[in-house]
């Protein structure tokens, strides 16, 4: 077919039409407030608020908003109003990247914090370095303070290694008769590292245990029954799992009819156990749980106020521990800015290093050498039914604590070589 | 003068000129936005070679975008290889993979072709996810540098912007020439009437394989340029839902016109930016938009406006 | 690994296969007659789970069974809505557009679920009647609920078989697969037939979701994971073939169960390998009609 005149014209008109559409949508689609309000300090927060992990991100957003309210009620930061701008990363690294750029370049935030997913958080590290902005991670990856450490990067709380080793220490002390262990973990980096650190933690305490079974289930697996029966077959007495929220709920529901929790003497989980308890309600079973924040342990004023405000605004207890981590991050930044006397990045970095603050989970200290946030204690507890609460809680008689400083990766073993800026 | 305005090159040239000037007056954020649109447009246009021009629904184009991105990421992180070499390598790797997969898939039609491409795509996703020592697993490869190209430093945003602009424009120009060539004409003839094409002695499988190869290479090049732009590549780039995006974008913009995918990319990126500011339920509106478009505007936005203006008759389906 | 264990694993594979059968049977019937690959089938399953969850958490006695019925019926109506309003207009469009439209349905329905029930995981309690376990020959515990699912699966399969092969409706469906014009010439209201079939398929998806809800956490994304498996099953079984869906669902269920023991690393890609092999060697599937 040869090119005839009307055809050429049609092509042209199509492209003009396209350009017109472009221009029109261009105008419509970018209503932005770019003016930095004088006298305000802006924080950008990126969490997952859509899709299957929204149950993690939403508490993070809510907790940050409570912190913002408290701070502004008492006069803001250095007299400036605090503004937290929140974005959804859809659990996708590339979306997180785009949101980070928007927050920094368009909304002109001073600092960025967030993510509930280490995968997304890591994607933001190069950007923080590129733009010279502080990024505080609220996810658990060790990478933020190890191979991806940098002056701009902080991790506010417990890491995978800390939670897993704490779980091991707890089992050594509280379930010393359990010698045969099995591990069912999700098949991705968090799952594999958790299991590796658990075994290491056992080694560190000199426990003479035998690993009778280990398996990695696809993350988000719907059917755990083959794994469950395999564990039972192996004759395991104790089971460690880093499966969390949905996966752990599935595991527990499917395991119960097999009499799993009668056959296994000890079952321990290294993360977000509180969210699982809230999700399962009556169907919960008794096991050793760990979480970065457990609402009922700490009796300090900060925690009481946090819980009270959360209940008032949202009619529930914080649904996931990452919420408290976000709250702590905002409070830490406030303290650091006040200590530095300015929101300037370099000054705030110096102020954050070595900072100690009181937050709902207790005292938190930021180690200067690698920017690890280290809690006073890491807590485990065994769940039991308490009629006072709508969901199972730790039996206070079973509280097990390890000082955070004992769990943090020793500096001599750390691979972090932070450049000075 | 009339002939000059009617030439199909005026409008794109005009846009290109504006884009070249963009860094002079626009804030940095818009540079990033345009870079993203350009990469998405190249990916969508390459996919549309299959969808719109060959009538082949491939649900696995994310494979090539991902392979292109990972190839460049790995090579650049090793710091042993120049940027140009890295990009060309990704084209070669994608070419090989697309030939292999295409060869196996090309015998099937429509839905079965789609599912087969999807299945292969998921295998590569699994590979990226599980081969942790090579790909970093779900953490991905973090911190991809932007090395110099022909002596020019690409680290500043404006510089990388120019690189992406020029590179994508060149790729689109090449794709345009391919579509306008006899090869492209035959592809469309095969799309419209495969039986007649076969009767006239053409080996339609070879032509389709050729289209598959081209889509794979240019999809890979889009990924290659994307990797240093993002600074990180993760297995998620190869997941099947990433293959749905260029399809939807081509549909949105108009899959029977060359610049349709470009228009679709612009709308897709900008609308997503805009909608998410006002509601957390953006997927709902996006889904409604898709359903609406498929029913009322199967020729996409680019087809629609001239039709409404009464300038062209509606394309018979 | 002794015989008792193997037997328990076989039964487990059968039970997970039955859930897959309920989903894929609806999918294959719709695809067989309407020639529409319904990507949104997974979210219909998800809605069924949420509806059942709602009844379980709000109705104390027999909430689960009421919830199952509610899920089945309401999904039938939802299916009718989807078919009559948007889907019907694109029966003449290329497969690509049909697939993409059902993709649009996924987005709409997932956000609707999020709006209605929120984003947190929900858990449906297993009804007390079915919550225990039985002792299998070979001294292994086996959940009563899994037995229930096996019974449901076989029952539904039987009913579907009877409908398809012994009723007038079934004959119309089978005839319509190869020759729609003939049907219409014989006075059959073809559009109404399409709607009915879509309703049946959607109802099956809803039932599957309801049955699955005590086993797994109910979440917005639960449909996404299962839809690919469902498509794989109907392709391997043969599009439109009920027997194919039945046999291949069991096959995939057993593969997943035994695969975790013998080839754990490959868990992610079993189904895809199966699909690739079948599409390359026998694209019409094990029980399907030869493709044109």
| Residue A256 is assigned to a structural domain of this protein | yes
* Residue entry with tokens 């027997």: C243
A147 lies in the same domain as A165 = no
Within a 13 Å sphere around the CA of A420, how many CA atoms are in the beta-carbon half? 1
| pLDDT mean over C92-100 | 80
Of C120, C126, C222, the CB nearest to A319: C120
C149 touches chain B (CB under 8 A): no
User: Distance from A253 to chain C by nearest Cα, in Å?
Assistant: 6
Residues of chain B with pLDDT under 50: 311-317
Within 5-34 of B, beta carbons closer than 8 Å to A belong to 5-8, 10-12, 14-15, 27-29, 32
pLDDT tens-place string over residues B26-43: 888 889 999 999 999 999
In this prediction, residue B234 carries a pLDDT of 92
Q: Name chain A contacts of C217, Cβ cutoff 8 Å.
A: 245-247, 249-250, 253, 279
Give CA separation, A119 vs A94, A135, B300, C9, C53, in Å.
Answer: 10, 14, 35, 35, 31
pLDDT tens-place string over residues A222-272: 789 999 999 999 999 999 999 988 889 889 999 998 989 999 999 999 988
Q: What is the ipTM of this complex?
A: 0.86
C117 pLDDT band (50/70/90 cuts)?
Answer: confident
Which subunits count as partners of chain C given 3+ CB pairs below 8 Å? A, B
In this prediction, residue C78 carries a pLDDT of 94
Of C97, C110, C269, the CB nearest to B283: C110
Residue B293 and residue B251: Cα distance in Å, rounded? 8
User: Distance from A342 to chain C by nearest Cα, in Å?
Assistant: 39
A275 lies in the same domain as A341 = no
Name the nearest CA neighbour of A282 among B79, B309, C57.
C57
Report how many domains make up chain A: 2
| pLDDT mean over A350-357 | 96
A14 touches chain B (CB under 8 A): yes
Residue of A nearest to C4 (CA): A233
pLDDT tens-place string over residues C204-243: 999 999 999 988 888 888 888 789 889 999 999 998 899 9
In this prediction, residue B314 carries a pLDDT of 45
A263 lies in the same domain as A203 = yes
Name the nearest CA neighbour of A218 among C11, B130, C248.
B130
A3 pLDDT band (50/70/90 cuts)?
Answer: very low
User: Distance from A320 to chain B by nearest Cα, in Å?
Assistant: 20
Name the nearest CA neighbour of A298 among A349, A224, A228, A359.
A359
Of B6, B230, B304, the CB nearest to A97: B230
Specify the pairing of strand A111-114 against strand A134-137. Answer: parallel
In this prediction, residue B1 carries a pLDDT of 57
Q: Name chain A contacts of B302, Cβ cutoff 8 Å.
A: 14-15, 17-18, 21
A165 lies in the same domain as A88 = no
Residue C219 and residue C118: Cα distance in Å, rounded? 9
User: For residues B35 and B161, is the Cβ–Cβ distance under 8 A?
Assistant: yes
Q: Which of A250-254, A363-367, C155-159, C214-218 has the lowest mean pLDDT?
A: C214-218
| pLDDT mean over C111-129 | 84
Total count of residues recorded for chain A: 421
A183 lies in the same domain as A251 = yes
Among C111, C113, C120, which would you mutate to test the A interface (most chain A Cβ atoms within 10 Å of its Cβ)?
C120
pLDDT at A67 over 50: yes
Name the nearest CA neighbour of C103 among C227, C199, C212.
C227
Give the domain ranges of chain B.
14-239
CB contact under 8 A, B274 and A30: yes
Residues 6+ apart with CB under 8 A from C20: C226, C229, C230, C233, C249, C252, C253
Residue environment code for B177-197, b if the CB has 16+ CB neighbours within 10 A, otherwise e: ebbeeeebebbbbbbeeeeeb
Mean pLDDT score of chain A: 88
In this prediction, residue B116 carries a pLDDT of 92
Within 202-221 of C, beta carbons closer than 8 Å to A belong to 212, 214-217, 219-221
A256 lies in the same domain as A170 = yes
C123 pLDDT band (50/70/90 cuts)?
Answer: confident
Among A14, A26, A92, which would you mutate to test the B interface (most chain B Cβ atoms within 10 Å of its Cβ)?
A14
Q: Name chain A contacts of C220, Cβ cutoff 8 Å.
A: 51-52, 54
CB contact under 8 A, B309 and A14: no
* Residue entry with tokens 């697996």: A221
Q: Name chain B contacts of A106, Cβ cutoff 8 Å.
A: 27, 29
User: Distance from A52 to chain C by nearest Cα, in Å?
Assistant: 6
Q: Name chain C contacts of B291, Cβ cutoff 8 Å.
A: 86, 101, 104-105, 108
| Residue A225 is assigned to a structural domain of this protein | yes
pLDDT tens-place string over residues A181-223: 999 999 889 999 999 999 999 999 998 999 999 999 888 777 8
CATH of the domain at A193: 3.40.50.2300
Q: Could you give the percent of chain A with pLDDT greater than 70?
A: 91
Residues 6+ apart with CB under 8 A from B263: A18, A21, A22, B252, B253, B254, B300, B301, B302
Residue of C nearest to A255 (CA): C143
Strand partners of residue A241:
A184, A269
Sign of the C-alpha dihedral computed for residues C36, C41, C47 and C51 taken in this order: positive
A18 pLDDT band (50/70/90 cuts)?
Answer: very low
Of C100, C115, C291, the CB nearest to B247: C100
pLDDT at C255 over 60: yes
pLDDT tens-place string over residues C15-48: 999 999 999 999 999 998 888 889 899 999 999 9
Residue C106 and residue C101: Cα distance in Å, rounded? 9
Inter-chain Cβ pairs, chain A and chain B, closer than 8 A? 145
A69 lies in the same domain as A98 = yes
Torsion angles phi and psi, residue C38, rounded to 5: -90, 90
| Residue A3 is assigned to a structural domain of this protein | no
A331: containing domain: 40-158+298-375
In this prediction, residue B303 carries a pLDDT of 64
Residue C206 and residue C70: Cα distance in Å, rounded? 9
| Residue A104 is assigned to a structural domain of this protein | yes
Q: Name chain A contacts of B267, Cβ cutoff 8 Å.
A: 21-22, 25
Torsion angles phi and psi, residue A285, rounded to 5: -125, 170
Name the nearest CA neighbour of B77 among B146, B12, B132.
B146
Residue of A nearest to B272 (CA): A29
Residue B313 and residue B302: Cα distance in Å, rounded? 14
| Residue A420 is assigned to a structural domain of this protein | no
Strand partners of residue A239:
A182, A267
Name the nearest CA neighbour of C103 among C38, C25, C32.
C38
CB contact under 8 A, A230 and C12: no
Total count of residues recorded for chain C: 292
In this prediction, residue C237 carries a pLDDT of 92
């Amino acid at each position: 077919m040869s090119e005839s005149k009307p055809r050429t014209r049609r092509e042209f008109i199509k492209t003009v039409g396209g350009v017109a559409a472009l221009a029109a949508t261009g105008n419509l689609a970018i209503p932005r407030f770019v003016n930095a309000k004088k006298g305000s300090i802006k924080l950008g927060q990126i969490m997952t608020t859509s899709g299957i992990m929204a149950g993690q991100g939403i508490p993070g957003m809510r907790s940050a908003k409570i912190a913002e309210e408290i701070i502004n009620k008492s006069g803001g930061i250095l007299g400036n109003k605090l503004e937290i701008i929140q974005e959804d990363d859809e659990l996708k690294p590339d979306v997180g990247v785009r949101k980070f750029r928007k927050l920094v370049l368009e909304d002109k935030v001073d600092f960025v914090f967030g993510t509930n997913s280490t995968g997304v958080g890591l994607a933001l590290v190069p950007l923080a370095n590129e733009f010279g902005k502080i990024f505080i991670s609220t996810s658990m990856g060790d990478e933020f303070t190890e191979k991806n450490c940098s002056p701009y990067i902080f991790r506010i709380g417990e890491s995978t290694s800390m939670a897993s080793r704490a779980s091991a220490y707890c089992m050594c002390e509280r379930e010393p008769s359990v010698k045969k262990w099995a591990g069912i973990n999700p098949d991705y980096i968090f799952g594999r590292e958790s299991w590796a650190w658990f075994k290491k933690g056992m080694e560190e305490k000199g426990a003479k245990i035998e690993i009778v079974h280990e398996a990695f289930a696809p993350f988000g697996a719907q059917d755990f029954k083959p794994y469950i029966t395999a564990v039972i077959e192996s004759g395991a007495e104790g089971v460690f799992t880093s499966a969390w929220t949905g996966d752990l709920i599935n595991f527990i529901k499917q395991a119960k009819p097999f009499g799993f929790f009668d056959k296994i003497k000890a079952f321990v989980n290294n993360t977000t156990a509180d969210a699982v308890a809230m999700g399962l309600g009556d169907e919960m079973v008794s096991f050793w749980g760990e979480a970065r924040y457990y609402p009922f342990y700490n009796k300090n004023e900060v925690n009481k106020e946090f819980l009270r405000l959360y209940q008032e605004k949202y009619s529930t207890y914080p649904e996931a521990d990452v919420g408290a981590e976000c709250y702590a991050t905002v409070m830490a930044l406030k303290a650091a800015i006040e200590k530095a006397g300015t929101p300037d990045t370099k000054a705030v970095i110096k102020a954050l290093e070595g900072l100690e603050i009181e937050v709902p989970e207790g005292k938190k200290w930021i180690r200067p050498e690698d920017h690890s946030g280290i809690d006073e204690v890491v807590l485990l507890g065994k769940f039991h039914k308490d009629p006072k609460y709508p969901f199972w809680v730790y039996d206070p008689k079973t509280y097990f604590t390890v000082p955070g400083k004992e769990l943090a990766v020793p500096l001599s073993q750390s691979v972090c070589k932070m450049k000075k800026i | 003068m009339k002939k000059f305005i009617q030439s199909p090159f005026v409008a794109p040239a005009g846009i290109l000129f504006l884009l070249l000037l963009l860094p002079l007056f626009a804030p940095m954020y818009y540079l990033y936005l345009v870079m993203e649109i350009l990469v998405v447009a190249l990916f969508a246009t390459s996919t549309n070679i299959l969808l719109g021009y060959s009538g082949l629904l491939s649900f696995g184009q994310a494979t090539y975008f991902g392979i292109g991105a990972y190839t460049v990421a790995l090579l650049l992180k090793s710091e042993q290889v120049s940027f140009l070499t890295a990009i060309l390598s990704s084209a070669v790797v994608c070419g090989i993979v697309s030939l292999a997969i295409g060869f196996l898939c090309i015998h099937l039609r429509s839905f079965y072709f789609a599912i087969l491409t999807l299945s292969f795509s998921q295998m590569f996703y699994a590979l990226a996810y599980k081969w942790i020592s090579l790909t970093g697993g779900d953490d991905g490869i973090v911190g991809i540098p932007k090395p110099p190209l022909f002596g020019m430093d690409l680290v500043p945003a404006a510089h990388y912007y120019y690189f992406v602009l020029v590179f994508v424009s060149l790729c689109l120009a090449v794709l345009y020439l391919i579509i306008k060539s006899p090869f492209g004409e035959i592809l469309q003839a095969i799309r419209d009437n495969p039986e007649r094409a076969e009767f006239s002695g053409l080996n339609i499988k070879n032509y389709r394989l050729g289209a598959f190869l081209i889509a794979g290479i240019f999809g890979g090049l889009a990924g290659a340029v994307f990797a240093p732009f993002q600074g990180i590549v993760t297995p998620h780039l190869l997941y099947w839902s990433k293959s749905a995006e260029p399809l939807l974008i081509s549909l949105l913009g108009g899959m029977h016109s060359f610049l349709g995918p470009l228009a679709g990319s612009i709308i897709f990126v900008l609308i997503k930016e805009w909608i998410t500011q006002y509601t957390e339920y953006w997927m709902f509106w996006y889904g409604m938009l898709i359903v609406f478009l498929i029913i009322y505007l199967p020729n996409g936005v680019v087809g629609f406006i001239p039709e409404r203006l009464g300038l062209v008759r509606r394309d018979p389906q | 690994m002794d015989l008792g264990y193997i037997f328990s694993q076989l039964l487990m594979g059968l039970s997970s296969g039955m859930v897959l059968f309920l989903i894929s049977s609806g999918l294959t019937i719709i695809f067989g007659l309407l020639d529409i690959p319904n990507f949104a089938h997974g979210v219909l399953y998800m809605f069924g789970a949420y509806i059942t969850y709602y009844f379980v958490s709000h109705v104390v006695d027999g909430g689960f069974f009421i919830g199952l019925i509610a899920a089945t019926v309401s999904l039938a109506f939802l299916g009718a809505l989807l078919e009559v309003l948007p889907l019907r207009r694109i029966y003449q469009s290329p497969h690509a557009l049909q697939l993409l439209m059902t993709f649009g349905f996924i987005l709409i329905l997932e956000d609707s679920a999020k709006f209605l029930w929120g984003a947190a995981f929900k858990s449906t309690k297993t009804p007390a009647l079915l919550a225990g376990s039985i002792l299998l020959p070979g001294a292994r515990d086996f959940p009563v609920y899994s037995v229930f699912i096996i019974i449901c699966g076989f029952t539904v399969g039987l009913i579907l078989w009877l409908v398809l092969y012994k009723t007038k409706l079934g004959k119309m469906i089978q005839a319509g697969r190869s020759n729609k014009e003939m049907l219409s010439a014989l006075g059959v209201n073809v559009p109404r037939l399409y709607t009915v079939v879509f309703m049946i398929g959607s109802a099956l998806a809803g039932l599957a979701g309801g049955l699955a809800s005590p086993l797994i956490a109910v979440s917005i994304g639960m449909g996404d994971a299962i839809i690919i498996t469902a498509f794989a099953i109907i392709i391997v079984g043969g599009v439109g073939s009920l027997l194919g869906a039945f046999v291949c669902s069991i096959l995939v269920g057993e593969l997943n169960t035994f695969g975790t023991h013998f080839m754990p690393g490959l868990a992610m890609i079993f189904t895809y390998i199966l699909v690739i092999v079948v599409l390359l060697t026998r694209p019409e599937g094990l029980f399907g009609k030869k493709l044109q």
